Amino acid sequence: MTAIPRNRKASLHVAEEAPIRLIPLDQIRVLNPRVRNRRVFAKLVENISALGLKRPITVTPATDSAEDCFEIVCGQGRFEAFQALGETSIPCMVVSAREADRFLISLVENLARRKHSNRDLLSSIQVLSERGYSATEIAGKTCLDAGYITGILALLRNGEERLISAVERGWLPIKFATEIARTSDSEIQLAMLEAYETGVLKGDQLMRVRRLIDRRKVLGKRYSPTSGTERLNTPQKLLNAYQAEVRRQKVMIKKADINEQRLLIIVTALRKLFTDEYFCTLLRNEGMQDMPKPLADRIQGENS
């Protein structure tokens, strides 16, 4: 096998600089179309409408057309969003690549695209705040409410990971979360009572908030253990863990016994059916002349 010299440039076009051109949408066609989630696509359209196009799409000149036509390599969603917004042209990075390379590059982009976690997004909000952006400016960049950004930044500054998680899951209002963060333990009870009377918290939601506040008080604001909240294993904890494992093993054994009994019934039934010539002829006519080897071994074992 011949080694590739280190000073040799990659032949794939993605490693090369390419000009950016404004190309009419009617001169562009999708090379490898794929169906999109409507909700995700609607969010993409809303984002581009509010913030504009952050990255041009990648196209290549069509090889099977004499006209000035281009094929999309990367950016079908952005292209369709521009169509939905009624735009007539879109910024494009024009590259040259063979058909096989175009499909490969499109596949690599889809595989490389990852979904950011809420923790990543919240960290990005905090970084923008540290760089001097106001809550209103961050809201404009993220398409989020300015009041929500203000509350999240307050929780982030106080390290309220448990409250932030509850807000992100949707069952704790951001306004009440910030109120919990800035009030003392004695005042939280009054705040919960007021929230219940005003309808901010209802039914099971009130109990969930109560449990959240208790965990926050005992275990701390953050999920990761700290020196103040870290606890040693006690004999009772070890006993509880042992009993839980014993129960799990018993359930597993019981399930195994039930499956063994079911398998025995199946083997016995098939052994009797295979003695019926009519049944065997029916299987041959239907083209069913084999079976899983473990099942066949058990049936032969029953006959022996």
Whether 187 is covered by a domain: the verdict is: yes
* Structural domain for 24, as ranges: 13-112
Q: What is the mean pLDDT of residues 155-176?
A: 80
Distance CA 222, CA 170 (A): 19
Whether 225 is covered by a domain: the verdict is: no
- Same domain flag for 123 and 211: yes
Q: pLDDT tens across 178-208, in order?
A: 878 887 766 777 777 777 777 777 777 777 8
Q: What is the mean pLDDT of residues 73-88?
A: 89
- Same domain flag for 123 and 188: yes
Domain total of the chain: 3
pLDDT at 84 over 70: yes
Closest by alpha carbon to 299, among 281, 276, 272, 279? 272
> 144 or 72, which is more confident?
72
pLDDT at 273 over 80: yes
- Same domain flag for 104 and 138: no
Mean predicted lDDT score pLDDT of the chain:
76
- Same domain flag for 162 and 142: yes
* CATH number of the structural domain spanning residue 105: 3.90.1530.10
Whether 25 is covered by a domain: the verdict is: yes
Whether 255 is covered by a domain: the verdict is: no
What is the predicted pLDDT for the residue at 213? 81
Whether 230 is covered by a domain: the verdict is: no
What is the predicted pLDDT for the residue at 10? 39
Percent of the chain having pLDDT more than 70?
A: 78
Last residue of a domain, one of 71, 94, 112: 112
Task: Identify any residues that bridge with 89 across adjacent strands, giving them in sequence order.
Answer: 24
Last residue of a domain, one of 97, 112, 127: 112
What is the predicted pLDDT for the residue at 241? 81
What is the predicted pLDDT for the residue at 116? 52
pTM beyond 0.75: no
Whether 22 is covered by a domain: the verdict is: yes
Whether 168 is covered by a domain: the verdict is: yes
> 145 or 233, which is more confident?
145
Q: pLDDT tens across 242-261, in order?
A: 888 888 888 888 888 898 88
Report yes or no: 105 and 72 within 8 Å, Cβ to Cβ: no
Q: How confident is the model at residue 7 (pLDDT cuts 50, 70, 90)?
A: very low
- Same domain flag for 18 and 96: yes
- Same domain flag for 81 and 125: no
Last residue of a domain, one of 48, 80, 112: 112
Q: How confident is the model at residue 91 (pLDDT cuts 50, 70, 90)?
A: very high
